[in-house]
Structure 1
Amino acid sequence: MAKSTTPEQLESVLDTTVQMSANSSLDPVAEAYGEFTLIYGIEILSLVIALVGLVGNSIVLWLLGFRTRRSPFSVYILNLAVADSLFLGSYFGLRMWRIVGNLNSLFLKLLWLCLLGLPYSVGLSLLAAISTELCLSVLFPICYTCHRPKCMSAAVCAILWALPGLYWGAFVALYFLKNDHFYDLYFLLPLVQYGWFLLLTCVLCVSCLTLVLRVQCSSQRRCPPRLYLLVLLTVLVFLLCGLPRGILEALWIFTDFPIMPYRISRLLACVNSSANPFIYFFLGSQWCRRGREPLRVVLQRALGEEQVGSESRT
């Protein structure tokens, strides 16, 4: 690799997060108008979804952080809400900055990549941890109850925040070193990132599949606890809406082969981070009751960990 070309290669890696999809047409005027309408329609819709999701995740943060008692799975949900809020807030702020300002410099592309990549990686890691621990609590209830440390959730969350933080910190540090000998590391770091992405995705799918089979094979259960449904629905939304972003970025970096326009993947990522609070409150609501319940009660019912404990003993 010639040293004269490495800065251009570095910029092409960072530019994957802000690439614009363009299509050719035999009618330039009609195509330009249609593309303009589609592009800005998607942008406005993604900004609205991000704003609504930011409000929903802020409510979850307030309730879990200050209004309810901490429990093992509520710690995971709290950190997941932090990651989703960081992703949506960063996306909304940077998209507005791009609309009213300039987001073309290499440094701002780096900022875009880090502020969106960190919460995305943490969110995937937390989902894998939640589904794995819930699966273990179902398969090995006695060992899980007797040998699980009290601070395990907080420790796991701290590790899952620290590992992506170290990765993106190394990424930024290598950029500011501006040494030709370190440019090759920019192409090794994505290998580490997407190896981690592939591992967590496999763990997420295997643990959720095991949980589904465990629920279906049980003859003593009329309906699964709300926490099971909460985890399964959250994972399903991630697989449908959050996973395409990671796959698309991997393809852009390693093969330069897009499977969908990047704006669509950003829109789906915003849907993924915004849908979780609605899942919580939907599962926690009791539609047969009249009157409005406090959101704190609804959220506690959705997390219903007492059902997991009773279910593990059956």
Structure 2
Amino acid sequence: MNQTTLKNNSTFHSLSALEVVTLPVLTVICALAGLPGNVVVLWLLGFRVSRNPISVYILNLATSDFLYLFCLLVFYLWELSDCFDFKYYIYIHAVGMLSYTMGLFMLSAISVERCLAVLFPIWYHCHRPRHMSAVMCVLLWALSLLLTMLLHVSCSSFFSKDELCLIMHSVIAPCLIFVFVILCGSSLTLLVRMLCSSRRLQLTRLYVTIGLTVLFFLLCCLPAGIMWALQATVDFQIQFSTFTVFERTAHLLSSINSGVNPIIYFFVGSFRQKQKQWQQRQHSLKLFLQNALEDIAEGEKSRESPPHKSVEMLEPP
């Protein structure tokens, strides 16, 4: 969402159809397709499914995905309709960056927490603070909000190359890189423990859900992070068209990631269900979502309780 695109009408109209129409339309389609799925996840995790440490993170991740898709949808619909009010752009951009950084923080927190559960199982099960997930989510939302406010206050002249704006980008970019490294390192640790360690972890639906979510985030959202890191240093007079293509492609990929997360949850939760179980009333989206967040192997689950009691056990009193 580059303000230079809107600020200079003659430059904007000189862009190709790929930059002006094709990429924005595809992004709008992805946003429209992804918003309902995130609404369903928010409703189920917020009101229908009992909370556990991971579901709290997933609830906040779905919130950030919803906000990000909504920001992209509003921005590109206004731009395509030629009635975009530029004075509101900074607010859309701020919420978009807030939701993007929050998604990165949430996935990193999930991966780190699972690493703690694997590397220090006794401490995790016996001494982990009861409300650790909720406290971490509040702190991460506050950190995301702080970074976003600092960046937009320092770059209030719409990403002009003043000294303060460059300093803030030089501070925030390494922070995001550091969090990316944490995400990759913790995810790689889990992968090594599952595949190469002498004490291999049992593959559960929860690990599959986390692995697929992290994989899609790294593939689809890394370009958006690079775009934000470069936004204050690019020479718009020379590289404007190239940067715009990269920027809008990054928006399209990140919209795909935010929209595919609910599909991952429900696909993993419904995978390998027997055909007759699909016809049973209790095997709904709620149960699929619960299954996707279960840290129990299939064999252990079948021995512990019959399928028809799983919903009752997980529902809040």
TM-score (normalised: structure 1): 0.80
Match of 2:288 in 1: 298
Pick one of 138, 142, 149 that aligns with 1:158: 138
Mapped to 2, the partners of 1:16 and 1:228 lie a distance apart of 42
Mapped to 2, the partners of 1:40 and 1:17 lie a distance apart of 13
The CA deviation at 1:169 is: 2.6
Residue 232 of structure 2 corresponds to residue 253 of structure 1 = yes
Mapped to 2, the partners of 1:195 and 1:144 lie a distance apart of 30
Q: Which runs of 5+ in 1 are unaligned?
A: 1-12, 24-30
Mapped to 2, the partners of 1:217 and 1:49 lie a distance apart of 37
Report Cα offsets for 1:124-144 as digits up to 9, x if no partner: 011111011111111111111
Check 1:153–1:17 CA distance in 2 against 1; reply closer, same or farther (3 A cut).
Answer: farther
Match of 1:53 in 2: 34
Report Cα offsets for 1:62-82 as digits up to 9, x if no partner: 000000000000000000000
Match of 1:6 in 2: none
The residue identity in structure 2 corresponding to 1:124 is L
Report Cα offsets for 1:221-254 as digits up to 9, x if no partner: 6951111111111111011101111112223323
Check 1:127–1:39 CA distance in 2 against 1; reply closer, same or farther (3 A cut).
Answer: same
Q: What is the CA RMSD across the aligned residues, in angstroms?
A: 3.1
Match of 2:150 in 1: 170
Mapped to 2, the partners of 1:14 and 1:273 lie a distance apart of 20
Match of 2:73 in 1: 92
Pick one of 124, 137, 143 that aligns with 1:144: 124
Match of 2:170 in 1: 191
Check 1:77–1:130 CA distance in 2 against 1; reply closer, same or farther (3 A cut).
Answer: same
List aligned pairs for 1:142-291, cutoff 5 A: 142-173=122-153, 184-218=163-197, 224-256=203-235, 261-290=246-275, 291=278
The CA deviation at 1:151 is: 0.4
Check 1:145–1:284 CA distance in 2 against 1; reply closer, same or farther (3 A cut).
Answer: same
List aligned pairs for 1:32-47, cutoff 5 A: 35-36=16-17, 39-47=20-28
Contact 2:194 2:201 in 1 (8 A): no
Contact 1:75 1:154 in 2 (8 A): yes
Residue 77 of structure 2 corresponds to residue 112 of structure 1 = no
Mapped to 2, the partners of 1:17 and 1:145 lie a distance apart of 52
Check 1:120–1:16 CA distance in 2 against 1; reply closer, same or farther (3 A cut).
Answer: farther
Mapped to 2, the partners of 1:205 and 1:222 lie a distance apart of 18
Mapped to 2, the partners of 1:18 and 1:275 lie a distance apart of 29
> Which sits farther off after the overlay, 254-263 or 162-171?
254-263
Q: Which runs of 5+ in 2 are unaligned?
A: 302-317
Helix, strand or coil at the partner of 2:231: helix
Helix, strand or coil at the partner of 2:232: helix
Equivalences, count: 282
Q: Taking every aligned residue pair, what percent have the same amino acid on both sides?
A: 39
Contact 2:71 2:95 in 1 (8 A): yes
Contact 1:17 1:109 in 2 (8 A): no
Mapped to 1, the partners of 2:90 and 2:232 lie a distance apart of 15
The CA deviation at 1:272 is: 1.0
The CA deviation at 1:45 is: 1.6
Contact 2:220 2:257 in 1 (8 A): yes
